[in-house]
Structure 1
Amino acid sequence: MDNRACWAALGAAESNGHRPAADTPSPVDGPVGTTWRPVDLGPFLRGEVERPEPTVGISRADGLRLLYPAREHMVIGEMESGKSWLALASVSAELTAGNRVLYIHGEEADPTDTIERLQALGVSDDDILARFTFVGPNEPVDPFSLAVLLDPPPSLVVLDGTNELMSMNRLGIRDEDGAAAYRRLLVKPCTAVGAAVLSCDHVVKDREKRDRGPLGSIHKGNGLTGSLILLENASPFGRGERGCSHVFVTKDRPGHLRRHGRPSKLPGKTFMGSLIVDDTRTTVGYLDLSFIEPPEDQPRESVRSRDQLDDDRVLEVVEAIAGTGRQPTLRGVRSKAGLGKDRVDNALTRLVLDSRLIEKPGPNRSRLFSVAEVIP
């Protein structure tokens, strides 16, 4: 019996009610086992299947979006780099456009902060009540409950707190099988109904590897079918503050995004612009979130890294302390820079090696710093 005859026989058996014992109906994907049948390639060869374009979520000032419908995406960054702001700006865009959004929060069961931010972004209470669904689970996912949440289908599903959601479902964060199971349990049912999925995750602790993917198994990033977005904080976010993070794309499976950005010095890392959350309310009387493209006159290799920004900040602090007539010490610079002990120490080391600062020992084993004179 050839392959076609085998598949025909299987179809006839199923039509008569004879299914394999393991063939349990699924609320989203249909009977288990049907995914192993050959795909009809005709529509693809005839050009009847359109390639996805980024039409979902946050919009850059020039109209570019970062998320593809029915694809899986991830935004990664350190704590307070703006991951939730980017996700909620995407939620705001979809709700304002009249679409439904499902937000599954693995770290917060209380929606207070999420609702407050959406309101600050200008989303009306009516839109939130009508089309926004918030879930804060503390138990493993129930496929049938998830199917109910996806009916009617949302245009966007946010999975905030990837590692908590994996742990909640007893999946290993650093295991390839764990990442694959997470994708089957929580992601694929959502993309199957046409929703763009955006997961929020952390970066690895190793600074040398954090540009390459999220914390845990490399399969988290390798299996993405949309884009992988990296946020690098330039100035902290907070109430009454103006925070900024640089936005990079480090993976773009459909391939529509990179031509709208600027290559960085690291291959595969494309600078897409800056995410700014301005809550100073000095120019306007409300919180202002914007996603702006790289300046046209910016050299293609001039995207400033966090190390460079840290160096400038620490040098500025040393100059400010010296300007008061006091001797800048290691402890004094740490207390004023607001960057954390390790980042300040690393910046001081780089500045000394670059001959921008001079270091000398002080009393009681203290370390003293001064700005190096610039020789014309």
Structure 2
Amino acid sequence: MSAEYIDAAAVLAGDFHPPVPTRGGKRSDGLHLLYPASVNGLVGDPETGKTLIASACAADELYQGGSVLWLDLDHNGPSATLTRFRRYGIPVDVLTDPARFRLAIPEDAPTLLAIIADAATWRPTVSVLDSVGEMLPMFGASSNSADEYTAVNQQTLVKLARLGSAVLGLDHMAKGTDFRAYGAGGTVAKKRAIDGAYLRVTTEGGFAKGIGGRADLSIIKDRHGALREASGPGREPRLAVFSLEDREGAQHWTFDIPAMQANAADDFDALLAQVLAMEPRPSGYRAIKTALGVRDELAQRLNRALRDSAPTAPTAPGAHPVQSPMHRTHCTPPLGGGAGAGAGAPVLEGVES
């Protein structure tokens, strides 16, 4: 039978197994974040660290012996991109080995297509495109047209995925409140076209030069279900907490398991008791969210329960009760370990989206 047809006998015999994530960033329990031979996506607002997170995924792949194609359509520049990987501890001999790493900054559609065609000669295990929003104008395509996006996606990201690469496309969040749940701005076809993992990046404090920062990765879409299975219930469960810290000139990062699964509200009373036992007790839902590592909805519910159960102190006429200041409890994940220790790397000088 021709290769164009699915071998139904093999599937029904149990010889076919759904894809599992085996590429890119590696969570502290060993779970990878990207599916091979698939188009994965990373979406977030500006300054949430998307490029830093994608770089960590690429660096983890290089540390594990894989190969990376980095397509810089955002014009971060060769110096900034290569310096970032050096800060992450990737050796010079890896970055200069064309069998392991290639960086390209295409200026037009024909150049991008030529680079993708050339990828068939060396088959990178991870391909990062930063960003999808910059790619569409190269082809004269509109971000709001499903048909135009689908056509460009088939020529670019899908072709890389068919080479076996775990493709990671970076994109910006939609601006309208009603559309943010779908992910990136523009047509909803962007979400539909994802056949791997579609991850949302959120952060409260952003990333500061010379310091680092933290960001949450949650699952918007998981076509094959392996990441959701490891992340608990809920419409958009948290997958990992990305932490980056500059320590003595070296960049250390981790993809940690969230301290408490984001939507694990099945034992609400236990969570409430945990908050009541904290000293000092978190004040406000943001402090509760930070302390427990839960999502906004659960943190707000816990905060309401605390407020409703708090005794009301009698006050003199005209007097106002004193409000205690907000206390934030930060749970700092362990540093080092794994691939995220870039020994001897220079300090972080800039923050990218």
Tell me which residue corresponds to 1:133: 102
Tell me which residue corresponds to 2:254: 290
Q: Which amino acid aligns with 1:169?
A: F
Query: Residues 231 and 261 of structure 2 are in contact (CA less than 8 Å); yes or no, is this contact kept in structure 1?
Result: no
- How far off is 1:191 after superposition? 1.1
Tell me which residue corresponds to 1:100: 67
Tell me which residue corresponds to 1:322: none
Q: Is the counterpart of residue 39 in structure 1 residue 6 in structure 2?
A: yes
Which structure 2 residues correspond to residues 174-323 of structure 1 after superposition, within 5 A?
174-264=144-234, 268-279=235-246, 281=247, 285-295=249-259, 300-301=264-265, 308-309=285-286
- How far off is 1:80 after superposition? 1.3
- How far off is 1:173 after superposition? 0.6
Tell me which residue corresponds to 1:24: none
Q: Which amino acid aligns with 1:235?
A: G
In 1, the alpha carbon distance for the partners of 2:34 and 2:225 equals 12
Query: Residues 75 and 83 of structure 1 are in contact (CA less than 8 Å); yes or no, is this contact kept in structure 2?
Result: yes
SS at match of 1:290: strand
In 1, the alpha carbon distance for the partners of 2:83 and 2:116 equals 25
- Percent of aligned pairs sharing the same letter: 26
Which structure 2 residues correspond to residues 41-80 of structure 1 after superposition, within 5 A?
41-80=8-47
Q: Which amino acid aligns with 2:258?
A: P
Q: Which amino acid aligns with 1:292?
A: D
Identify the match of residue 91 of structure 1 among 15, 33, 58.
58
Query: Residues 56 and 196 of structure 1 are in contact (CA less than 8 Å); yes or no, is this contact kept in structure 2?
Result: yes
Alignment CA distance shift 1:298-1:135 (3 Å): closer
Alignment CA distance shift 1:109-1:238 (3 Å): closer
SS at match of 1:235: coil
- How far off is 1:212 after superposition? 2.4
Which structure 2 residues correspond to residues 16-35 of structure 1 after superposition, within 5 A?
none
Q: Which amino acid aligns with 2:199?
A: I
Q: Which amino acid aligns with 1:66?
A: L
SS at match of 1:211: helix
Alignment CA distance shift 1:219-1:285 (3 Å): same
Alignment CA distance shift 1:103-1:273 (3 Å): same
- How far off is 1:161 after superposition? 1.1
Q: Which amino acid aligns with 1:168?
A: M
Q: Which amino acid aligns with 2:159?
A: P
Alignment CA distance shift 1:231-1:312 (3 Å): closer
Query: Residues 214 and 220 of structure 1 are in contact (CA less than 8 Å); yes or no, is this contact kept in structure 2?
Result: yes
In structure 1, the gaps of 5 or more residues are 5-33, 314-353, 356-369
SS at match of 2:221: strand
In 2, the alpha carbon distance for the partners of 1:371 and 1:217 equals 50
Superposed CA RMSD: 3.1
In 1, the alpha carbon distance for the partners of 2:58 and 2:242 equals 15
Alignment CA distance shift 1:141-1:47 (3 Å): farther
SS at match of 1:107: coil
In 2, the alpha carbon distance for the partners of 1:298 and 1:271 equals 6
In 2, the alpha carbon distance for the partners of 1:225 and 1:278 equals 32
Query: Residues 173 and 179 of structure 1 are in contact (CA less than 8 Å); yes or no, is this contact kept in structure 2?
Result: yes
Give aligned pairs, total: 281
Q: Is the counterpart of residue 121 in structure 1 residue 88 in structure 2?
A: yes
- How far off is 1:248 after superposition? 0.2
Q: Is the counterpart of residue 148 in structure 1 residue 118 in structure 2?
A: yes
In 1, the alpha carbon distance for the partners of 2:56 and 2:131 equals 17
Alignment CA distance shift 1:299-1:160 (3 Å): closer
Alignment CA distance shift 1:299-1:110 (3 Å): closer
Structure showing greater radius of gyration is 1
- How far off is 1:309 after superposition? 3.7
Query: Residues 199 and 217 of structure 2 are in contact (CA less than 8 Å); yes or no, is this contact kept in structure 1?
Result: yes
- How far off is 1:43 after superposition? 2.0
In 1, the alpha carbon distance for the partners of 2:140 and 2:262 equals 47
In 2, the alpha carbon distance for the partners of 1:166 and 1:137 equals 13
- How far off is 1:199 after superposition? 0.2
- How far off is 1:48 after superposition? 2.3
SS at match of 1:251: strand
In 2, the alpha carbon distance for the partners of 1:173 and 1:146 equals 21
In 2, the alpha carbon distance for the partners of 1:47 and 1:81 equals 42
Query: Residues 88 and 252 of structure 2 are in contact (CA less than 8 Å); yes or no, is this contact kept in structure 1?
Result: yes
In structure 2, the gaps of 5 or more residues are 272-283, 291-306, 309-319, 325-353
Query: Residues 39 and 166 of structure 2 are in contact (CA less than 8 Å); yes or no, is this contact kept in structure 1?
Result: yes
- How far off is 1:46 after superposition? 2.0
TM-score normalised by structure 2 residue count: 0.72
Alignment CA distance shift 1:298-1:186 (3 Å): closer
